[in-house]
């Protein structure tokens, strides 16, 4: 072989070696990220052994209790532990050059409390932070932060994972716009569907009319903080309406097609007359937030992360009624007869109540109502005797049939407030024996909560079709507006859900207080005007002052909304209520707020 051939072969071998090393390093990097994610999320090292560390010098944590996600959350954007602000540790926040400005609103209890700046980490300084507890400023960290016993393989893997964690905005979030989708399933009443879509479009139009983007300097501003203005993080919204058709088994493919065409940042509410599991599963698979859809039957599955619901719907009502019947003083019913539509929601509600009543000593009997006729309903009601009680899972669209049917001989009839969408439309001859499982704030208190919502409807010239239904949608849009504004430029889907957990109770309380203060100021001015007109002789004596106002805790149809880490149902209870008399829809609570 000639020297030139030998040299050529050597050169080729070198190139092959370089290629092999490059390929190997690529695979290793991907493996490191996967191994680092397991450390971060589960507290398991590449060796399979649990991650361990020491808190407060002598408290050992291991495995899941030692996992980074416990404090820094899934997003890596941190949290608040007591008085301690747990810093963001995404790739940008750890390794960003010092000439870049990154801000995160950290503490929802104290208003605008931001993350602290620090020099960028490198592999060596990050190792010291993880193993020794000394940060990039060379300051000893709080002892809540474990000093980890982590080997070189684990450290390399965790560093690789942190370097890529949420370094880019999530799909659907651009420099100047955020795209949302809403999902409308088949079967909803046309009037509901129309007002649902119209309200969402009006909310987006209103949001964009008060949004400043780039060099735009005119118009009103929607601004939550000075940081939003300084950083220029306001964005216009775009909304797609995903209409589903056909059987639920086909919805997954339809959703995938919509998603591939225009992936949204989140699903903003949604509308269904029954099935929702297929949408829920799609959002979990795509890691796509699904924000307070309007459904009577939310899926209840442990460990799911990406969907937020107002409550457990009819499943919550079943548990509330069971709790009430088990603890109620006085004689128990001989039987509890359930009458329900023979559909997914009705069967699920009846099944949950039967399960919840197990061991109560009360026989539970279910009567499917298949044809939704008054004649069949009358036959089913006749099954119950004077010592029995009835649970009527009656959808709002069938409520008018009660006027065609005589009240049963049963001692008491319970009505699902969730399905009936409130208390209206019950005939007077039914009201004496009627009780409602009522998962909403009582109407007389709710009136004050919803005053701004009603004003918004008037301004947008939108009809009031169903107040309980529409008020929930209004909350979903305003809460999304506030939450996205608080996120500044940290538009990560998992962070959106974490912010929702952190903000909801504080946001509701502060917004209610702001509305009260504004209304009190308005009434003070009104009283002064009335007094001056009376003094001038323009009016007779006033016999009653304007409505007295008390501080509220909610701006929605629920007494309180709250979420903790990992919680996905914001309202957790219901009242048992009765009618004050047969001539009005005034309700009286027979029980406190029951949280089963």
pLDDT digits (tens, 9 = 90+) for 368-419: 999 989 999 999 999 999 999 999 999 999 999 999 999 999 999 999 999 9
pLDDT of residue 108: 55
Torsional class of 20: left (φ above 0), alpha (ψ -120 to 50), beta (otherwise): alpha
Residue 85: predicted pLDDT? 85
Can you list the positions of beta strands (E) in 505-592? Answer: 575-579, 587-589
> 240 by DSSP, 3-state: which?
strand
Q: For residue 145, what pLDDT is reported? A: 95
| pLDDT tens series, the chain, 596 aa | 344 444 444 454 444 444 444 444 444 788 999 999 999 999 999 999 999 999 999 999 999 999 999 999 999 999 887 778 899 999 999 998 877 778 888 765 555 577 878 899 999 999 999 999 999 999 999 999 999 999 999 999 999 999 999 999 999 999 999 999 999 999 989 999 999 999 999 999 999 998 877 655 444 455 455 666 667 788 999 999 999 999 999 999 999 999 999 999 999 999 999 899 999 999 999 999 999 999 999 999 989 999 999 999 999 999 999 999 999 998 899 999 999 999 999 999 999 999 999 999 999 999 999 998 999 999 999 999 999 999 999 999 999 999 999 999 999 999 999 999 999 999 999 999 999 999 999 998 898 889 999 999 999 999 999 999 999 999 999 999 999 999 999 999 999 999 999 888 776 655 544 554 454 454 455 455 445 655 665 444 433 333 333 444 567 899 999 999 999 999 999 999 999 999 999 999 999 999 99
- The reported pLDDT for the residue numbered 539 is 40
| DSSP-derived pairing of the beta strands 266-271 and 290-291 | parallel
> What residues pair up with 578 in beta bridges, in sequence order?
435, 588
Query: What pLDDT is stored for residue 109 in this prediction?
Result: 56
332 near 302, Cβ under 8 Å? no
Best CA proximity match to 340, nearest among 301, 395, 402, 303: 395
Two structure tokens written together for 80: 């608040």
- Please list, in sequence order, all residues whose beta carbon lies within 8 angstroms of the beta carbon of residue 145, skipping any fewer than 6 positions away: 55, 71, 133
Q: How many residues does the chain have?
A: 596
Sheet containing strand 575-579, strands side by side: 363-369, 335-341, 389-393, 412-416, 434-438, 575-579, 587-589
CB 181 within 8 A of CB 175: no
Widest Cα–Cα separation across the chain: 121
The distance of Cα 399 from the centroid of its chain, to the nearest Å, equals 29
Asked if residue 242 lies in contact with residue 183, where contact means CB atoms within 8 angstroms, the answer is yes
Domains plus CATH for the chain? 28-164 (1.10.760.10), 177-313+449-501 (3.40.50.2300), 315-438+573-589 (3.40.50.2300)
Q: What angle do CA 61, 503, 117 make, to 5 degrees?
A: 65
- In the block, residue with structure tokens 């089963």: 596
Q: Which two tokens stand for residue 273?
A: 């007359």
pLDDT at 182: 98
Distance CA 407, CA 409 (A): 7
pLDDT at 107: 65
Give me the pLDDT at residue 505, please: 73
Which strand (E) or helix (H) includes residue 339? strand 335-341
Q: Which of 325, 322, 577 is nearest to 446 (CA)?
A: 577
Element (H, E) at 528: helix 493-535
Residue 169: count other Cβ atoms within 10 Å of its Cβ.
16
pLDDT tens across 248-306, in order?
999 999 999 999 999 999 999 999 998 999 999 999 999 999 999 999 999 999 899 99
| CA distances to 240, 415, 490, 496 from 169, in Å | 20, 46, 7, 12
Q: Please check whether residue 141 is in contact with residue 147, taking contact to mean a CB–CB distance below 8 angstroms.
A: no
And the tokens for 459? Answer: 């301004």
Q: pTM for the whole thing?
A: 0.87
């Amino acid at each position: 072989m000639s020297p030139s051939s030998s040299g050529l072969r050597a050169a080729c071998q070198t190139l092959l070696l370089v290629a092999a090393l490059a390929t190997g390093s690529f695979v290793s990097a991907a493996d490191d990220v996967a191994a680092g994610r397991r450390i971060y999320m589960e507290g398991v090292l590449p060796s399979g052994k649990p991650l361990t560390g020491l808190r407060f010098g002598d408290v050992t944590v291991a495995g899941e209790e030692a996992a980074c996600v416990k404090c820094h959350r899934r997003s890596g954007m941190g949290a608040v532990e007591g008085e301690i602000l747990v810093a963001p540790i995404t790739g940008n926040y750890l390794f960003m050059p010092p000439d870049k400005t990154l801000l995160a609103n950290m503490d929802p209890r104290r208003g605008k409390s931001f993350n602290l700046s620090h020099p960028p980490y490198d592999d060596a300084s990050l190792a010291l932070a993880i193993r020794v507890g000394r940060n990039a400023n060379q300051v000893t960290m709080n002892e809540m932060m474990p000093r980890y016993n982590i080997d070189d393989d684990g450290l390399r893997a965790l560093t690789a994972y942190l370097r890529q964690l949420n370094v880019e905005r999530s799909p659907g979030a651009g420099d100047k716009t955020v795209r949302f989708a809403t999902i409308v399933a088949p079967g909803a009443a046309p009037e509901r569907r129309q007002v649902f879509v119209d309200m969402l479009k009006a909310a987006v139009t209103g949001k964009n009319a008060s949004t400043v983007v780039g060099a735009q300097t005119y118009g009103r501003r929607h601004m939550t903080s000075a940081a939003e203005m300084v950083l220029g993080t306001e964005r216009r919204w775009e909304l797609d309406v995903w209409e589903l058709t056909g059987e639920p088994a086909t919805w997954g493919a339809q959703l995938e097609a919509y998603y591939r065409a225009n992936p949204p940042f989140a699903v903003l509410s949604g509308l269904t007359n029954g099935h929702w599991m297929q949408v829920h599963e799609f959002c979990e698979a795509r890691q796509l937030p699904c924000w307070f859809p309007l459904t009577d039957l939310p899926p209840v599955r442990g460990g799911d992360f990406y969907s937020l619901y107002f409550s457990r719907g009819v499943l919550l009502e079943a548990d509330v009624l069971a709790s009430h019947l088990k603890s109620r003083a006085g004689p128990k019913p001989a039987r509890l007869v359930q009458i329900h539509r023979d559909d997914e929601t009705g069967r699920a509600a009846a099944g949950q109540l039967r399960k919840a009543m197990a061991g109560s000593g009360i026989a539970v009997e279910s009567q499917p109502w298949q044809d939704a006729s008054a004649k069949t309903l009358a036959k089913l009601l006749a099954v119950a005797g004077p010592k029995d009680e009835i649970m009527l899972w009656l959808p709002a669209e069938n409520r008018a049939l009660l006027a065609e049917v005589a009240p049963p001989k049963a001692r008491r009839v319970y009505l699902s407030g969730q399905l009936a969408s409130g208390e209206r439309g019950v005939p007077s001859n039914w009201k004496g024996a009627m009780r409602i499982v009522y998962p909403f704030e009582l109407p007389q208190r709710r009136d004050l909560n919803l005053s701004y919502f009603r004003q918004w409807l008037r301004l947008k010239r939108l009809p009031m079709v169903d107040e309980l239904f529409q008020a929930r949608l209004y909350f979903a849009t305003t809460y999304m507006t506030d939450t996205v504004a608080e996120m500044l430029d940290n538009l990560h889907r998992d962070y959106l859900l974490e912010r929702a957990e952190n903000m909801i109770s504080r946001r509701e309380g502060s917004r209610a207080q702001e509305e009260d203060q504004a209304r009190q100021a308005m009434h003070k001015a009104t009283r002064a005007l009335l007094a001056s007109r009376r003094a001038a002789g323009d009016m007779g004596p006033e016999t009653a002052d304007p409505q007295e106002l008390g501080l509220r805790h909610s701006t929605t149809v629920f007494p309180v909304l709250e979420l903790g880490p990992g919680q996905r149902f914001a309202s957790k209870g219901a009242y048992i209520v009765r009618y004050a008399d047969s001539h009005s829809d005034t309700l009286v609570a027979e029980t406190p707020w029951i949280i089963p």
